[in-house]
Amino acid sequence: MPKTIESVGEFGLIDILKKYSFHQSNIIKGIGDDTAVLYYNGQRHLLYTADMVCEGVHFTRKMPAYAIGHKAMGCNISDIAAMGGLPTFALVSLGLPKSLPVSYVEDLYKGMYELGKKFNVSVVGGDTVAAKQIVINVALLGEVACEDLVTRKGALPGDWIMTTGALGRAWKTDKHTSFTPRVEESRFLVKHFKPNAMIDVSDGLTADLGHILEESEVGACLYENEIPRNPGATLKDALYDGEDFELLFTMSETKAKTLMEWQAKNKRWFFYSIGRIQKDKGLFLADRKGAMVALKPKGFTHF
Ligand SMILES: [Mg+2]
């Protein structure tokens, strides 16, 4: 029996496929972060990412096309923000059923266009093919000054774990199709309070924090009382649901305290401190009674 994709899982599959990517000296960071990081010039790196949204997996035909376009562009912009960068140019490739009204595709594009425009992203090309179900792939370029780059690697014991907003139930609250990618927050952070590690919450808090822990070779403890939740979200929703597209980052205690003082005075954004990085590996939750519960970093996986 041949091994199926289901039996190895999404990340198992990526591991198998990694061997078909060969290294070039211009690749600063290849597979395994929110975007690839490529040599551009001595001052700036290029960021390069692609995200695909498919009918029946990420959206249904009942949802407004505009919102789906917003999501397809937004999840890519969010990945550029997770590296501390600014998005620039996009290629949009569409698989479309022949019977689809032209107005539907226009609405889809409007959603992508309006969000893209807000962040200075121009669509500069792509491809259109016939397909049985709607498939939208956005490939996005971005840039970051070398000193502003933040990856998943770099979290240190004692760091505060922070997020830019509430988590859980993004699907039930429509947040997954209406969120604003946290580019401004990310740029503010890298310029004034540069985080040690950063990722965006797409697969779920424990899963995405799990990526930071793995890359940084550390462990973490989350505080149940401190995790901000979207309306109606349970603790479980906040820990394991995906597609909030908030930033999750870590920084030294000294910096984090100064950031908290800053935000007490300037209420422009709100950053939440939700846990601590620790030397010992593993992921734990300090519950309301102060007891430590071991957590499994799991979240949404495709297979
Ligand atoms: Mg990401």
Q: What is the pLDDT of residue 301?
A: 64
DSSP string covering 84-111: T-EEEEEEEEEEE-TTS-HHHHHHHHHH
What's the CA gap between 140 and 118, in Å, rounded? 15
The 10s digit of each residue's pLDDT in 192-221 is: 999 999 999 999 999 999 999 999 999 999
Distance from the CA of 187 to the center of ligand 1, in angstroms?
Answer: 16
Q: What's the confidence (pLDDT) of residue 18?
A: 86
Alpha-carbon gap, residue 35 to 132, rounded angstroms: 29
Please state, in angstroms and as integers, the Cα–Cα distance from residue 67 to each residue in 64, 98, 244, following that order: 5, 21, 15
Tokens of 24: 């070039």
Torsion of CA 35, 36, 40, 46, to 10 degrees: -20
CA–centroid distance, 29 to ligand 1, in Å, is 14
pLDDT, position 299 = 67
Mean pLDDT of 169-196: 95
Tell me which of 17-21, 124-128, 232-236 is least confident.
17-21
239 pLDDT band, cuts 50/70/90, is very high
Length of the chain: 303
**What's the rounded mean pLDDT across residues 119-130?**
97
Distance (angstroms) between ligand 1 centre and the Cα of 34 equals 4
Question: Residue 21: its pLDDT value, please?
Answer: 86
pLDDT number for residue 300: 63
**Centre of ligand 1 from the C-alpha of residue 103, in Å:** 31
The predicted-structure confidence for 42-76, as pLDDT tens digits, reads as follows 999 999 999 999 998 888 899 999 999 999 999 99
User: Ligand 1 centre and the CA of 83: distance in Å?
Assistant: 9
Q: What is the pLDDT of residue 303?
A: 63
> Average pLDDT, stretch 270-281?
96
What is d(CA 119, CA 130) in angstroms, rounded to the nearest whole number?
30
What integer is the mean pLDDT of 141-150? 98
The whole model's pTM is what? 0.94
78 CA distance to ligand 1 middle (Å): 7
Cβ atoms within 10 Å, residue 178: 14
Is the pLDDT at 297 greater than 80, yes or no? Answer: no
Provide the phi-psi class of 291: left if phi over 0, else alpha when psi is between -120 and 50, else beta: beta
Quick check: 7 pLDDT over 70? yes
Per-residue CA distances from 241 to 123, 194, 236 (Å): 30, 27, 8
Q: How far is the CA of 126 from the centre of ligand 1 (A)?
A: 22
Cα–Cα separations (whole angstroms), residue 290 to 172, 262, 286? 30, 29, 5
What is the pLDDT, as a whole number, of residue 290? 86
* pLDDT at res. 111: 97
pLDDT of residue 10: 84
Residue 267 has pLDDT above 80, yes or no: yes
Residue 163 sits at the vertex; the CA angle it makes with 157 and 166, to the nearest 5 degrees, is 145
pLDDT (average), residues 247-264: 97
Mean pLDDT rounded to a whole number for the chain: 94
CA 32–ligand 1 middle distance (angstroms)? 10
| CA 239 to ligand 1 center in whole angstroms | 16
How far is C-alpha 264 from the geometric centre of its chain's CA atoms? 26
**Per-residue confidence at 178, pLDDT binned at 50, 70, 90?**
very high
Average pLDDT over residues 291-301: 81
For residue 134, pLDDT beyond 90 = yes
Ligand 1 centroid to Cα of residue 15, in Å, is: 17
Res. 79 pLDDT band, cuts 50 70 90: very high
> With pLDDT > 90 as the criterion, what percentage of the chain qualifies?
85
What is the per-residue DSSP string for 107-168?
HHHHHHHHHHHHTTPEEEEEEEEE-SS-EEEEEEEEEEEGGG---S----TTPEEEESS-BS
Distance 182 CA to ligand 1 centre (A): 12
Question: Does residue 296 carry a pLDDT above 90?
Answer: no
Cα 299 to ligand 1 centre (Å): 13
- Distance from the CA of 82 to the center of ligand 1, in angstroms? 7
